[in-house]
Amino acid sequence: MPKKAASSSKAASRKKFLATTRERLLEMKNKLLGEIQTELRAEREGNKDEGMDTYDLASEERDREINFILSDRERLKIQQIDDALERLEESSYGVCESCGLEIAEERLLAMPFTRLCHDCQQEQEKEARSQRRFDDERNTYRKLGSTDVDDDNA
């Protein structure tokens, strides 16, 4: 009995945490869009025919315009936020894509867009490192090999 109570309160706190995360992500996105709007407006003000305010534009048109002036970095950031929000909707947010365990809240606070738990991330980095080392060795052998061929041809 007490065990069950503990786990359900844990689930409740996780739910609360995810709700807070959602707020945080939405705030992040609003702030980012706000900055972009300000940039857009500043650009407009320098423009001669400023008959129309940015906010008078149909939102679809405005979106297109915003999209046009976005830098790759801003676009990537918005995309990351949207992805995370989508995963929150699908309740797949905060769950490690590799092992299926819940990602620690401290980790999600530090890296709200991460899709892997700490262990799996470490594992992946280790694999990537050894893969790189393997490739390096192979390239070295290939280079040595081709030098030999060149020597034969010469």
Q: What is the contact surface with Zn ion in residues (CB under 5 A)?
A: 96, 98-99, 117, 120
8 Å CB contact between 134 and 152: no
**Minimum gap (Å) between residue 84 Cβ and Zn ion:** 17
DSSP string for residues in 7-55: HHHHHHHHHHHHHHHHHHHHHHHHHHHHHHHHHHHHHHHTSS---S-GG
**Minimum gap (Å) between residue 144 Cβ and Zn ion:** 39
Nearer to Zn ion, 43 or 102 (CB): 102
How many residues in total does the chain contain?
Answer: 154
Nearer to Zn ion, 12 or 99 (CB): 99
**Minimum gap (Å) between residue 148 Cβ and Zn ion:** 45
Cα(75)–Cα(68) distance, rounded to whole angstroms? 10
Nearer to Zn ion, 81 or 96 (CB): 96
Nearer to Zn ion, 37 or 114 (CB): 114
**Minimum gap (Å) between residue 133 Cβ and Zn ion:** 23
Cα(94)–Cα(22) distance, rounded to whole angstroms? 11
